[in-house]
Amino acid sequence: MAEVLVVTSGKGGVGKTTSTAALGAALAQTGQSVVVIDFDVGLRNLDLVMGAERRVVYDLINVVQGDANLNQALIKDKRVESLSLLPASQTRDKDALTAEGVERVINELKGKFDWIICDSPAGIERGAYFAMRHADLAVIVTNPEVSSVRDSDRIIGLLDSKTEKAERGETMEKLLLLTRYDPVRAERGDMLKVDDVLEILSIPLLGIIPESPEVLKASNLGSPVTLANPISAPSRAYLDAARRLRGETIEMTVPSEKKRFFGNLFGRRAA
Amino acid sequence: MSVLKFFTRRSSAPAARERLQLLLAHERAVFGRTDLVAQLKDEILAVIAKHIAIDPEKVRIKTDTRDTLATLEVDIEIRTPNGGLKLAG
Ligand SMILES: Nc1ncnc2c1ncn2[C@@H]1O[C@H](COP(=O)(O)OP(=O)(O)O)[C@@H](O)[C@H]1O
Ligand SMILES: [Mg+2]
């Protein structure tokens, strides 16, 4: 049975799209079939992070409106066979998505994939609502910073009231993905610690993704970070998180880059 | 900045934590977390049950928001043989 997962946060720029691509690729790397859907209508960028921007012909809105079928719109990843992308369109018409259309697309995808990962736009408007509407499970992407934690708390409230699962009287499973974490600054007391955020939001932890230049390098190359550099610190954190999603118990750590002195001196290379 | 102030620089994370806890306590009451009602019900029940015999089935808790006003309505039926309040213990 397909698992519908929404990657959401309320606040923009915290790492939802990065995390959608990385978790999607990581799950696909373990052999699961995965589709990542961009719900950020008008500001699509999951296609760029995935390196598929030049292969977009049809998009989510075309499928929702019946102008294309799913097979025409889905873009198969060139690196991992079991990974696909359903891109957002660049239309400025925010009403282009409809509740019935989105529901039909999600139901159709359920027959084709193990995981359906919905990349939510920022905010608490229509797009964010459609992205979470059919979810079985929510990954709340949060930075250790006051406004991000506050927005995550709002989103948790919406997940508990505005989703199909909530309306059926069931509890939505919500997992915290703490991203852009800097253990050194947290230790110095200049950044909220993991335990602070966990205590305030009181949802279980899926993973801690360290702040790392590897993320920007990967997006420059148009590749999920777990594919661009699987042994980098953020990749190891995402790969662990993906295994936790599959039910494995893995010790929680904040992976860090190994200091390779000679590697850094002589092996310097631009991305 | 005085030298002393420089060396005793206070970290900012505890302030962030404190501000968030205060703010979210307020916002959760206004916007509501759906499990908030269930949680309130359990906790209010536990407090009252320490003093009064109550039937958990006869407790209704409702939250409501209109414009800027949020209300919490707690309705507890207390049944005693002689109709008065009966304190436990
Ligand atoms: N762990 C990280 N380390 C460093 N930069 C990051 C990390 N995660 C995300 N970023 C950067 O933050 C910016 C916003 O990320 P993005 O995934 O687009 O956020 P969102 O989808 O929530 O708006 C991007 O420039 C991205 O490269
Ligand atoms: Mg995004």
Query: Cα–Cα distance between A143 and A125 in angstroms, integer?
Result: 21
Question: What number is the ipTM of this complex?
Answer: 0.77
Spatial neighbors of A170 by CB under 8 A, at least 6 apart, are none
Quote the Cα angle for A71-A112-A19, to 5°.
Answer: 90
Asked if the Cβ–Cβ distance from B20 to A160 is below 8 Å, we say no
A contact residues 116-155, partner B, Cβ 8 Å cutoff: 145-146, 149-150, 153-154
Query: Cα–Cα distance between A175 and B16 in angstroms, integer?
Result: 22
Rounded to a whole number of angstroms, the distance from the CA of A176 to the nearest CA of chain B is 17
Instruction: Determine the distance separating the centroid of ligand 1 and the alpha carbon of A195, expressed in angstroms.
Output: 22
Supply the pTM of this predicted model: 0.82
pLDDT single digits (tens) A103-158:
999 999 999 999 999 999 999 888 999 999 999 999 999 999 999 999 999 999 99
% residues pLDDT > 90 (chain A)? 84
- Mutation for testing the B interface, residue in A140, A145, A154 having most B CBs under 10 Å: A154
Cβ pair B57, B77 in contact under 8 A: no
**What's the whole-number average pLDDT of chain A?**
92
A8 is written with which tokens? 């959401």
Asked if the Cβ–Cβ distance from B13 to A150 is below 8 Å, we say no
pLDDT of residue B57: 73
Instruction: Determine the distance separating the centroid of ligand 2 and the alpha carbon of A16, expressed in angstroms.
Output: 5
Asked if the Cβ–Cβ distance from B21 to A200 is below 8 Å, we say yes
Residue B45: exposed, middle, or buried by beta-carbon count in 10 A (0-12, 13-18, 19+)?
middle
pLDDT single digits (tens) A32-51:
999 999 999 888 899 999 99
A139 phi/psi in degrees, rounded to 5: -105, 115
Spatial neighbors of A129 by CB under 8 A, at least 6 apart, are A158, A162
pLDDT band at residue A182 using 50, 70 and 90 as cut-offs: very high
- Find, among A131, A144, A269, the residue nearest to A201 by Cα: A144
The residue nearest atom 27 of ligand 1, judged by CA position, is: A216
Nearest ligand to the C-alpha atom of residue A43? 2
Q: Range with the lowest mean pLDDT among A19-23, A248-252, A259-263?
A: A259-263
